[in-house]
Amino acid sequence: MPLDPLRGKPAPPEKLVNLASLTSDYYTLPPASPVSFGTSGHRGGASRGSFNETHVAAITAAVAEYRARQGHAGPIFLGWDTHALSEPAWRTALEVLAAAGAPTVISRGREYSPTPVVSFMILEHNRTSPSAPADGLIITPSHNPPDDGGIKYNPPHGGPADQDVTSWIEKRAADFVEDPGKVKRIPFARALKAACVSERDYLAPFVEALGTVVDLPKIKASGLRLAADPLGGSGVHFWGPIAERWGLNLTVVNTRVDPSFSFMTLDADGAIRMDCSSPYAMANLISGSRGYDLAFGNDPDFDRHGIVSGGALMNPNHYLAAAVSYLLSARPHWRADLKIGKTLVSSSVIDRVVAGAGRGLYETPVGFKWFVEGLLAGSLAFGGEESAGASFLRMDGTAWTTDKCGFCMALLAAEMTAATGRAPDELYKALAGKYGETDYERLDSPVSPEAKRRLAETRPEELVGREIAGRKVVSAIDRAPGNGASVGGLKAVLEDGSWFALRPSGTEPKMKLYAESFSGPDFKKAILEGAGPLVLGE
């Protein structure tokens, strides 16, 4: 992907979305594409005809029908973020849920509702009322650009729905898109007053419970100067109460909520994208981090984290490795048999950290959904993925959230610093000195149907013994070691521990190529250049 010359610079006026036109398109344009659930719900744009009122009403009606069929008699927690399309979609969803008589809980005062907060609310309810399980519906396209919208369903386990569930919802929603008249709705004003709709404080219980997962008194005692940038996202009103309740020396450096996200700096491709793992999108926080011991940012639904340590944004893989290493030594009440979950395209430094601690590794395909059951059951201490999303157990070994939690991962960075006297980037440097320095990159490129076919037909054993830049492939897999699930492509490991993985996108005509080199950046470049020809014959 070519780098845009304006990357890391303030968004110019011509990059800003026309909010009035966008909202109008949501209500007036007919669907131009079907409902399609990717790794985290249905996403699209109103002006492109891929996220419109018809889509949202159809998906919500399908969810209402699904939960009724499953006997989910508890509340459905309805959450939303700060994207321009989120409020109209939230209104649509409430109109459909109220018409269906679904016991719907909305946040008090219509407060924004981060993904981990909805997951937390689901689990808290289900701990005390297991016979009437709750679930959730969250209106968010995550870190996508301002003109996008999204909606995702979290079943009673509190995490992302698996493919069996999303396939059913997707199919049923398609029926409703085909015949929108079948969707029952009531006007928004009536929906707000419906007997099945109630308000609940989402903020205070979550803020209070954070002390069960992160050692907040230790952070307070350290006096660390912390900076938080919500990037205009749904957690914008949470950081202040967190700092006040727990006595943290924390400054919220950006309190603006603007659906056009005009305060953002442009991402690598010149788009406005609230990606807290991108140094270009995080340029304001990075440049403003002087004077603070640690700074962190989050994406709009707060399920991801970005850690600025030592004046630079940490590579997400580096922070995951440092976090895992710290947690395995700092949680004495965790059982010794707990495993660490990671996606197989996350850094192999994590593998080495886990092995060095004498713990078990649970390696899965891409997607946080694979960690849900383990976190819920308390058999996984931690689940993390390469795209800066993770969650971990409470200090007593019970579940915190079964969806990614940007709050706990950001605050963990402060706990690590307070407890060790070393910032997260310093802790990672020590790990790299012990386990090997790596160079990691992911490339996305267009892919033809023929290339996808060749990848699907290539057997892992065909790669073993073949070479890239003089190093042999010693093992290859098409199923994840942790749960045996298909990885949707191939991963190959070379004799020095370097590796690459190829998999086509499930939502776009792109091939994703991941590479990690333990032999320097030049060898990483050789992997990126040689993996495609090796596997696809291109």
Could you list the active site residues? Answer: 142
Single-letter code of the amino acid located at 341: G
Q: How far apart are CA 46 and CA 274, in angstroms?
A: 19
Element (H, E) at 92: helix 86-99
Q: How far apart are CA 195 and CA 99, in angstroms?
A: 11
Q: Is the dihedral of CA 264, 147, 19, 93 positive or negative?
A: negative
- For residue 107, give the nearest of 137, 83, 149 by alpha carbon: 137
Q: How far apart are CA 273 and CA 268, in angstroms?
A: 9
- For residue 357, give the nearest of 376, 377, 382, 374 by alpha carbon: 382
Kindly give, in sequence order, each residue whose CB lies less than 8 Å from that of residue 490, ignoring residues fewer than 6 positions away: 455, 458, 460, 463, 476, 477, 478, 501, 502, 503, 535
Query: Counting beta carbons within 10 angstroms of the beta carbon of residue 30, is it exposed (0 to 12), middle (13 to 18) or buried (19 or more)?
Result: exposed
Q: How far apart are CA 332 and CA 102, in angstroms?
A: 42
Structure tokens at 528: 């990126």
Token pair 């076919």: residue: 453
